[in-house]
């Protein structure tokens, strides 16, 4: 019987090269996106600075601007119906 040449398999090396290139490209894209972003991107925009404070309805838990909410005994409500019904269950 003829003896076959004993070559190491090429698949693990090919897979390792593929993973290396994928990691290299992902790192390059991450760095490019990180440094491309303007320096003032983390600062709040003027519209966020001028946003009204939000309050939570004591009955249903929905958040709404304080200037649109109804207040009774230091609790806020989203509508006249919820104001009349009073606080909801506390399991929220």
Q: How far apart are CA 61 and CA 36, in angstroms?
A: 40
Write down all domains in the chain, each with its CATH number in brackets: 51-85 (3.30.60)
Q: Which residues pair with 85 in a beta bridge?
A: none
In the prediction, which pLDDT does 90 show?
59
Percent residues over pLDDT 90 in the chain: 45
41-72 in b/e form (b: 16+ CB < 10 A) is eeeeeeeeeeeeeebbbbbeeeebeeeebbee
Output the pLDDT for position 64.
93
Look at residue 8 in the predicted model and tell me its pLDDT.
62
The pLDDT tens digits of the residues spanning 54-81 come to 999 999 999 999 999 998 888 999 999 9
Query: What is the model's pLDDT at position 51?
Result: 81
pLDDT of residue 18: 93
């Amino acid at each position: 019987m003829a003896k076959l040449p004993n070559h190491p398999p090429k698949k693990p090396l090919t897979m390792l090269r593929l993973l290396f290139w994928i990691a290299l490209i992902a790192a390059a894209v991450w760095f490019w996106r990180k440094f491309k972003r303007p320096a003032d991107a983390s600062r709040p925009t003027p519209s966020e600075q001028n946003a009204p404070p939000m309050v939570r309805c004591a009955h249903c838990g929905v958040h709404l601007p304080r200037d649109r909410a109804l207040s009774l005994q230091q609790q806020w409500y989203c509508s006249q119906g919820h104001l009349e019904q009073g606080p909801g269950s506390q399991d929220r």
